[in-house]
Amino acid sequence: MAITGVLRPGHSQMRVLNLEESVNFYTNVIGLVETGRDASGRVYFKCHDERDHHSFIIREAERPGMDFYGFKVLDDATLDKLESDLRAYGMATERIPAGELLETGERVRFTASTGHVFELYAQKSDVGDGLGYTNPDVIIEGRKGISPLRLDHWQIHGSDLDGTRDLFVNVLGFSVVERVLCEDGKTDMGVWLSCSTKAHDIAFIRDERDDTLHHTSFLLETWDHVLRAADILSKHKAKIDIGPLRHGITRGTTVYFFDPSGNRVETFCGGYAYYPDMRPYTWTWDEIGTGVFYHTRELNERFLTMVT
Ligand SMILES: [Fe+2]
Protein backbone atom coordinates (compact mmCIF):
# COMPACT_ATOMS: atom_id res chain seq x y z
CA MET A 1 0.00 0.00 0.00
CA ALA A 2 1.53 3.27 -1.07
CA ILE A 3 -1.09 5.87 -0.23
CA THR A 4 -1.45 6.24 3.53
CA GLY A 5 -2.38 9.03 5.92
CA VAL A 6 -4.93 11.45 4.45
CA LEU A 7 -6.51 9.79 1.40
CA ARG A 8 -8.79 12.35 -0.23
CA PRO A 9 -11.45 15.02 0.21
CA GLY A 10 -14.29 12.95 1.63
CA HIS A 11 -17.19 15.29 2.31
CA SER A 12 -18.18 18.87 2.93
CA GLN A 13 -21.29 20.53 4.27
CA MET A 14 -22.58 23.44 2.23
CA ARG A 15 -25.10 26.08 3.27
CA VAL A 16 -27.94 26.76 0.84
CA LEU A 17 -30.73 29.33 0.99
CA ASN A 18 -33.60 27.08 -0.14
CA LEU A 19 -33.24 23.39 0.58
CA GLU A 20 -35.65 21.86 -1.92
CA GLU A 21 -34.57 24.18 -4.75
CA SER A 22 -30.99 23.08 -4.04
CA VAL A 23 -31.91 19.39 -3.82
CA ASN A 24 -33.49 19.73 -7.27
CA PHE A 25 -30.37 21.49 -8.63
CA TYR A 26 -27.82 19.05 -7.20
CA THR A 27 -29.95 16.02 -8.17
CA ASN A 28 -31.24 16.91 -11.62
CA VAL A 29 -28.69 19.43 -12.98
CA ILE A 30 -25.43 18.31 -11.34
CA GLY A 31 -26.66 14.70 -11.19
CA LEU A 32 -25.62 13.74 -7.66
CA VAL A 33 -27.39 10.83 -6.01
CA GLU A 34 -29.37 11.59 -2.83
CA THR A 35 -28.45 9.00 -0.19
CA GLY A 36 -30.16 10.23 2.95
CA ARG A 37 -31.68 12.94 5.14
CA ASP A 38 -31.12 13.34 8.86
CA ALA A 39 -33.19 14.60 11.77
CA SER A 40 -31.69 18.08 11.51
CA GLY A 41 -32.87 18.37 7.90
CA ARG A 42 -29.51 17.88 6.19
CA VAL A 43 -29.55 16.18 2.79
CA TYR A 44 -26.72 13.81 1.80
CA PHE A 45 -25.44 13.09 -1.71
CA LYS A 46 -22.78 11.01 -3.43
CA CYS A 47 -21.48 10.99 -6.98
CA HIS A 48 -22.42 7.97 -9.04
CA ASP A 49 -18.92 6.47 -9.06
CA GLU A 50 -18.25 6.95 -5.34
CA ARG A 51 -18.71 4.03 -2.98
CA ASP A 52 -18.94 5.72 0.40
CA HIS A 53 -22.36 6.82 1.64
CA HIS A 54 -21.93 10.50 0.86
CA SER A 55 -19.45 13.15 -0.24
CA PHE A 56 -21.64 16.25 -0.23
CA ILE A 57 -24.13 17.52 2.36
CA ILE A 58 -26.38 20.56 2.20
CA ARG A 59 -28.31 22.35 4.91
CA GLU A 60 -30.63 25.33 4.73
CA ALA A 61 -29.18 28.54 6.18
CA GLU A 62 -29.42 32.32 5.99
CA ARG A 63 -26.21 32.67 3.97
CA PRO A 64 -24.32 30.46 1.51
CA GLY A 65 -20.83 29.04 2.07
CA MET A 66 -19.29 25.95 3.61
CA ASP A 67 -19.62 24.77 7.22
CA PHE A 68 -16.72 22.29 7.14
CA TYR A 69 -14.40 20.29 4.92
CA GLY A 70 -13.76 16.59 5.65
CA PHE A 71 -10.86 14.39 4.58
CA LYS A 72 -10.97 10.61 4.75
CA VAL A 73 -7.91 8.98 6.32
CA LEU A 74 -6.73 5.42 5.94
CA ASP A 75 -7.92 3.85 9.19
CA ASP A 76 -8.65 4.41 12.89
CA ALA A 77 -4.97 4.21 13.86
CA THR A 78 -4.19 6.95 11.32
CA LEU A 79 -7.00 9.08 12.75
CA ASP A 80 -5.56 8.70 16.27
CA LYS A 81 -2.05 9.48 15.05
CA LEU A 82 -3.08 12.59 13.12
CA GLU A 83 -5.16 13.80 16.08
CA SER A 84 -2.12 13.57 18.33
CA ASP A 85 0.10 15.19 15.68
CA LEU A 86 -2.35 18.10 15.37
CA ARG A 87 -2.31 18.58 19.15
CA ALA A 88 1.47 18.41 19.26
CA TYR A 89 1.50 21.14 16.58
CA GLY A 90 -0.65 23.28 18.88
CA MET A 91 -4.07 22.79 17.29
CA ALA A 92 -7.15 22.35 19.44
CA THR A 93 -9.09 19.30 18.26
CA GLU A 94 -12.58 18.05 18.99
CA ARG A 95 -13.99 14.53 18.54
CA ILE A 96 -17.42 14.47 16.91
CA PRO A 97 -19.23 11.24 17.86
CA ALA A 98 -19.88 8.50 15.31
CA GLY A 99 -23.31 8.83 13.76
CA GLU A 100 -23.52 12.63 14.04
CA LEU A 101 -23.25 12.51 10.27
CA LEU A 102 -25.21 9.62 8.79
CA GLU A 103 -23.22 6.40 8.24
CA THR A 104 -19.99 8.10 9.40
CA GLY A 105 -17.59 7.22 12.20
CA GLU A 106 -15.89 9.55 14.65
CA ARG A 107 -14.48 12.77 13.20
CA VAL A 108 -11.56 14.81 14.47
CA ARG A 109 -12.36 18.48 13.94
CA PHE A 110 -10.04 21.48 14.05
CA THR A 111 -10.13 25.09 12.90
CA ALA A 112 -7.26 26.40 10.78
CA SER A 113 -5.87 29.89 11.27
CA THR A 114 -7.78 30.97 8.14
CA GLY A 115 -11.00 30.17 10.04
CA HIS A 116 -11.91 27.14 7.95
CA VAL A 117 -13.24 24.15 9.87
CA PHE A 118 -11.63 20.88 8.79
CA GLU A 119 -12.22 17.37 9.95
CA LEU A 120 -10.67 13.95 9.51
CA TYR A 121 -12.50 10.64 9.65
CA ALA A 122 -11.68 7.02 8.91
CA GLN A 123 -15.04 5.26 8.69
CA LYS A 124 -18.02 5.73 6.40
CA SER A 125 -20.44 3.05 5.19
CA ASP A 126 -19.63 1.58 1.79
CA VAL A 127 -22.88 1.69 -0.16
CA GLY A 128 -21.13 0.82 -3.43
CA ASP A 129 -21.50 2.21 -6.91
CA GLY A 130 -24.26 -0.20 -7.91
CA LEU A 131 -21.93 -2.47 -9.86
CA GLY A 132 -21.17 -4.94 -7.08
CA TYR A 133 -17.77 -6.20 -6.01
CA THR A 134 -17.70 -9.38 -8.11
CA ASN A 135 -17.29 -9.21 -11.90
CA PRO A 136 -18.52 -5.61 -12.02
CA ASP A 137 -20.02 -4.22 -15.20
CA VAL A 138 -18.66 -0.93 -16.55
CA ILE A 139 -21.89 1.00 -17.09
CA ILE A 140 -23.64 2.63 -14.15
CA GLU A 141 -27.31 3.00 -15.05
CA GLY A 142 -29.61 5.89 -14.25
CA ARG A 143 -27.11 8.74 -14.48
CA LYS A 144 -28.74 12.17 -14.59
CA GLY A 145 -27.57 15.67 -15.51
CA ILE A 146 -23.84 16.40 -15.49
CA SER A 147 -23.21 13.26 -13.41
CA PRO A 148 -19.66 13.75 -12.09
CA LEU A 149 -17.54 10.79 -11.07
CA ARG A 150 -16.54 12.06 -7.65
CA LEU A 151 -15.92 15.00 -5.37
CA ASP A 152 -12.46 16.19 -6.37
CA HIS A 153 -11.18 19.28 -4.53
CA TRP A 154 -11.97 22.63 -2.97
CA GLN A 155 -10.45 26.09 -3.43
CA ILE A 156 -10.70 28.14 -0.27
CA HIS A 157 -9.53 31.64 0.67
CA GLY A 158 -8.08 33.13 3.85
CA SER A 159 -5.47 35.52 5.16
CA ASP A 160 -2.98 33.20 6.89
CA LEU A 161 -2.12 31.17 3.81
CA ASP A 162 1.35 30.43 5.19
CA GLY A 163 -0.01 28.96 8.44
CA THR A 164 -2.62 26.79 6.77
CA ARG A 165 -0.16 25.62 4.11
CA ASP A 166 2.37 24.67 6.79
CA LEU A 167 -0.27 22.80 8.78
CA PHE A 168 -1.31 20.78 5.73
CA VAL A 169 2.27 20.08 4.65
CA ASN A 170 3.97 19.47 7.98
CA VAL A 171 1.19 17.78 9.95
CA LEU A 172 -1.21 16.27 7.41
CA GLY A 173 1.42 15.22 4.85
CA PHE A 174 0.24 17.19 1.82
CA SER A 175 2.70 18.31 -0.89
CA VAL A 176 2.85 21.67 -2.64
CA VAL A 177 2.30 20.84 -6.33
CA GLU A 178 1.99 24.36 -7.77
CA ARG A 179 2.25 27.86 -6.35
CA VAL A 180 1.57 31.41 -7.53
CA LEU A 181 3.86 34.08 -6.12
CA CYS A 182 2.86 37.57 -5.02
CA GLU A 183 4.32 40.64 -6.68
CA ASP A 184 7.33 40.48 -4.29
CA GLY A 185 8.43 37.25 -5.98
CA LYS A 186 8.70 35.44 -2.63
CA THR A 187 5.37 35.22 -0.81
CA ASP A 188 2.81 32.63 -1.84
CA MET A 189 -0.36 34.13 -3.30
CA GLY A 190 -1.82 30.67 -3.81
CA VAL A 191 -0.80 27.04 -3.32
CA TRP A 192 -2.21 23.86 -4.84
CA LEU A 193 -1.73 20.90 -2.50
CA SER A 194 -2.03 17.16 -3.03
CA CYS A 195 -2.35 14.24 -0.60
CA SER A 196 -2.57 11.75 -3.47
CA THR A 197 -1.55 11.43 -7.11
CA LYS A 198 -4.00 14.16 -8.13
CA ALA A 199 -2.56 17.51 -9.22
CA HIS A 200 -4.46 18.98 -6.28
CA ASP A 201 -6.81 17.93 -3.51
CA ILE A 202 -7.19 21.45 -2.11
CA ALA A 203 -6.05 24.95 -3.10
CA PHE A 204 -5.51 27.89 -0.73
CA ILE A 205 -5.55 31.48 -1.95
CA ARG A 206 -4.33 34.43 0.13
CA ASP A 207 -7.34 36.66 0.72
CA GLU A 208 -8.32 38.93 3.61
CA ARG A 209 -11.76 37.29 3.64
CA ASP A 210 -11.20 34.43 6.10
CA ASP A 211 -13.21 31.21 6.08
CA THR A 212 -14.42 31.67 2.54
CA LEU A 213 -15.07 29.21 -0.26
CA HIS A 214 -14.15 29.92 -3.88
CA HIS A 215 -15.43 26.66 -5.32
CA THR A 216 -16.21 23.00 -4.81
CA SER A 217 -15.06 20.81 -7.68
CA PHE A 218 -16.40 17.56 -9.09
CA LEU A 219 -14.52 15.34 -11.54
CA LEU A 220 -15.69 14.48 -15.07
CA GLU A 221 -14.32 11.84 -17.43
CA THR A 222 -13.29 13.87 -20.45
CA TRP A 223 -13.14 17.33 -22.03
CA ASP A 224 -16.28 16.34 -23.97
CA HIS A 225 -18.04 15.96 -20.64
CA VAL A 226 -16.93 19.48 -19.64
CA LEU A 227 -18.55 20.88 -22.82
CA ARG A 228 -21.65 18.76 -22.17
CA ALA A 229 -21.76 20.07 -18.58
CA ALA A 230 -21.88 23.64 -19.90
CA ASP A 231 -24.67 22.62 -22.32
CA ILE A 232 -26.67 21.11 -19.46
CA LEU A 233 -26.13 24.19 -17.29
CA SER A 234 -27.33 26.50 -20.06
CA LYS A 235 -30.33 24.26 -20.80
CA HIS A 236 -31.35 24.59 -17.13
CA LYS A 237 -30.58 28.36 -17.18
CA ALA A 238 -27.97 27.91 -14.45
CA LYS A 239 -25.58 30.85 -14.01
CA ILE A 240 -22.26 29.96 -15.65
CA ASP A 241 -19.32 31.92 -14.22
CA ILE A 242 -16.73 31.11 -16.88
CA GLY A 243 -15.75 28.34 -19.28
CA PRO A 244 -15.43 25.79 -20.68
CA LEU A 245 -11.71 26.55 -20.65
CA ARG A 246 -8.29 25.27 -19.65
CA HIS A 247 -6.18 26.20 -16.64
CA GLY A 248 -2.41 26.59 -16.93
CA ILE A 249 -2.19 25.60 -13.26
CA THR A 250 -2.80 21.80 -13.06
CA ARG A 251 -3.70 21.83 -16.82
CA GLY A 252 -7.29 20.96 -15.92
CA THR A 253 -10.21 21.78 -18.20
CA THR A 254 -13.21 23.28 -16.52
CA VAL A 255 -16.52 25.08 -16.38
CA TYR A 256 -17.43 27.19 -13.33
CA PHE A 257 -20.99 28.01 -12.37
CA PHE A 258 -23.12 29.05 -9.40
CA ASP A 259 -25.69 26.98 -7.55
CA PRO A 260 -29.06 28.65 -6.78
CA SER A 261 -27.60 30.07 -3.52
CA GLY A 262 -24.55 31.64 -5.18
CA ASN A 263 -22.02 28.97 -4.17
CA ARG A 264 -19.49 28.51 -6.98
CA VAL A 265 -19.14 24.95 -8.29
CA GLU A 266 -16.69 23.53 -10.82
CA THR A 267 -16.96 20.44 -12.97
CA PHE A 268 -13.61 19.64 -14.45
CA CYS A 269 -11.37 16.97 -15.89
CA GLY A 270 -7.69 16.47 -16.58
CA GLY A 271 -4.68 17.58 -14.67
CA TYR A 272 -1.50 15.56 -14.61
CA ALA A 273 -0.57 12.76 -12.22
CA TYR A 274 1.46 14.00 -9.26
CA TYR A 275 4.07 12.05 -7.29
CA PRO A 276 5.83 13.33 -4.16
CA ASP A 277 9.26 13.37 -5.79
CA MET A 278 8.15 16.10 -8.22
CA ARG A 279 9.32 19.69 -7.74
CA PRO A 280 6.51 22.24 -7.50
CA TYR A 281 5.71 24.41 -10.51
CA THR A 282 5.93 28.13 -9.74
CA TRP A 283 3.88 30.83 -11.46
CA THR A 284 5.13 34.39 -11.28
CA TRP A 285 2.89 37.37 -10.60
CA ASP A 286 3.03 38.66 -14.18
CA GLU A 287 1.81 35.30 -15.54
CA ILE A 288 -0.98 34.66 -13.04
CA GLY A 289 -3.60 35.27 -15.76
CA THR A 290 -2.04 32.53 -17.89
CA GLY A 291 -1.96 30.17 -14.92
CA VAL A 292 -5.64 30.61 -14.19
CA PHE A 293 -7.08 31.02 -17.71
CA TYR A 294 -4.57 29.57 -20.13
CA HIS A 295 -6.19 30.72 -23.39
CA THR A 296 -7.23 34.31 -22.64
CA ARG A 297 -4.21 34.79 -20.33
CA GLU A 298 -6.23 37.31 -18.33
CA LEU A 299 -8.09 37.12 -15.02
CA ASN A 300 -11.71 38.14 -14.85
CA GLU A 301 -13.02 40.31 -12.05
CA ARG A 302 -15.92 38.09 -10.93
CA PHE A 303 -13.66 35.05 -10.64
CA LEU A 304 -11.41 37.01 -8.28
CA THR A 305 -14.03 38.74 -6.17
CA MET A 306 -16.93 36.30 -5.69
CA VAL A 307 -16.57 33.97 -2.70
CA THR A 308 -19.11 32.58 -0.26
FE1 LIG B 1 -10.77 23.91 -9.00
Distance 211 CA to ligand 1 centre (A): 17
> What is the CA 47 to chain-centroid distance, rounded?
13
**191 within 8 A of 181, measured Cβ to Cβ:** no
Q: What is the pLDDT of residue 2?
A: 81
Residue range 289-298: average pLDDT? 89
State the Cα–Cα distance between residues 297 and 291, nearest whole angstrom: 7
Burial class (CB in 10 A: 0-12, 13-18, 19+), 59: middle
State the Cα–Cα distance between residues 264 and 253, nearest whole angstrom: 16
pLDDT band at 271 (very low <50, low <70, confident <90, very high): confident
Q: What is the pLDDT of residue 303?
A: 86
Distance 205 CA to ligand 1 centre (A): 12
Q: How would you list the strands of the sheet with 117-121, edge to edge? A: 33-37, 43-46, 56-60, 6-16, 65-73, 117-121, 107-111, 94-96
Catalytic (active-site) positions: 153, 200, 215, 247, 256, 266
Distance 39 CA to ligand 1 centre (A): 32
State yes or no: pLDDT of 1 exceeds 70: no
State yes or no: pLDDT of 268 exceeds 90: yes
Please list the residues that pair with 181 across neighbouring strands. 188
State yes or no: pLDDT of 284 exceeds 70: yes
pTM listed for this prediction: 0.97
Q: What is the pLDDT of residue 60?
A: 98
State yes or no: pLDDT of 304 exceeds 90: no
* Phi and psi angles of residue 233, each rounded to the nearest 5 degrees, phi first: -65, -45
The mean predicted confidence, pLDDT, of the chain is 96
State yes or no: pLDDT of 288 exceeds 80: yes
State the Cα–Cα distance between residues 79 and 72, nearest whole angstrom: 9
Among the residue ranges 147-151, 210-214, 287-291, the one predicted with the least confidence is 287-291
Tens digit of pLDDT for each residue in 76-93?
A: 999 999 999 999 999 999
Tens digit of pLDDT for each residue in 6-37?
A: 999 999 999 999 999 999 999 999 999 999 99
Distance 1 CA to ligand 1 centre (A): 28
State the Cα–Cα distance between residues 30 and 26, nearest whole angstrom: 5
Tens digit of pLDDT for each residue in 121-135?
A: 999 999 999 999 999
Residues 6+ apart with CB under 8 A from 210: 114, 115, 116, 157, 158, 159
Distance 243 CA to ligand 1 centre (A): 12
